Structure 1
């Protein structure tokens, strides 16, 4: 005895899922494009500001190690990192905090634009990178004459004497950038203005 099975066609809306990742200093996000029944819907999942800050801090450290490795070798990169690790970690932490604050601020409803915050972030990131690059310049002293730039050898060698000062400049710029972010947050009523007035305007307030 044979049993016959009848197939039934069921109309199920087609679903397609496409994942794309967007990355940047101003914020990491995963954008999901979902097509249901011929209609395209987009949903964005933004990563935590802490993850963005951590990624920025790690990027600064990798930039320093990569720069020395390219100009010298990996051994010198690790030696320099061991020697100046507290300066490098301070620079990385400061820049990471700025990125985290910027990403968090970008998600919040605000009254003032973020043009100043973007400029501050770009400036401090550039100063941090430049200070690290300047500290690596003395590794280029043997190479510059070969490249036809002997006049830069003396300048590059002289920068080695001011490595700590250059790192200090980068740390100060990071602190200024963090202070600017906090002021912007206070202007948008995201944090109490009394906190900023107390800790970031020491010695600048006038008594009536």
Structure 2
């Protein structure tokens, strides 16, 4: 058992709070841009119109922030228990996960641009941008789960340990391939119109 392992409930509080905060910030940016471009009423109408898509984007972002915070918290806990060797072993993994988590969120801004712009081109591809954001969220989440499994970046006991018994590399590859397939179909449908 690890020396400085957080109590069962406390190890999830910080990641959940950070995830909720990340979701709130993304939602605030969305509302802020649309309010600035039009009005708060317009921003809310657009959100209600697209709530399943926007909710999936916002929640997916929050899940990834939570996962990254959890991995960082795990790394700090293990570092204080085992010394600097762990930093070398997990530092690159955490940095890679952060890049995977954050870089693809450029896509999350595209629906906002599509909603706030009057250009026909962007509104034609709005559903594709939304799907691209959701697919990239799913790919990012499964990649982070696979990374956690591959490098044992999770506390033993509880839900995550049970989840880590599945073949998460296979889940990541399936998610990646299905995501690409769905996006290609959607793009084909849009271009065919």
Q: CA RMSD in A?
A: 2.3
Greater strand content: 1
Please tell me whether Structure 1 or Structure 2 has the larger radius of gyration of its CA atoms. Answer: 1
Tell me by how many angstroms 1:182 deviates.
0.6
Tell me by how many angstroms 1:164 deviates.
1.4
**Greater RCO (Cα-Cα under 8 Å, separation 6 or more):** 2
Equivalence map 1:8-157=2 (5 Å): 48-109=14-75, 111-112=89-90, 113=92, 114-138=94-118, 156-157=119-120
CA contact (8 A) 2:143 2:172 kept: no
Greater helix content: 2
Q: Give 1:181's match in structure 2, choosing from 135, 140, 144.
A: 144
Aligned-partner Cα distance in 2 for 1:202–1:76? 38
Unaligned runs of 5+ in 2: 1-11, 76-85, 155-160, 177-193
Unaligned runs of 5+ in 1: 1-45, 139-155
Query: TM-score, normalised on structure 2?
Result: 0.66
Aligned-partner Cα distance in 2 for 1:74–1:122? 27
Aligned length: 142
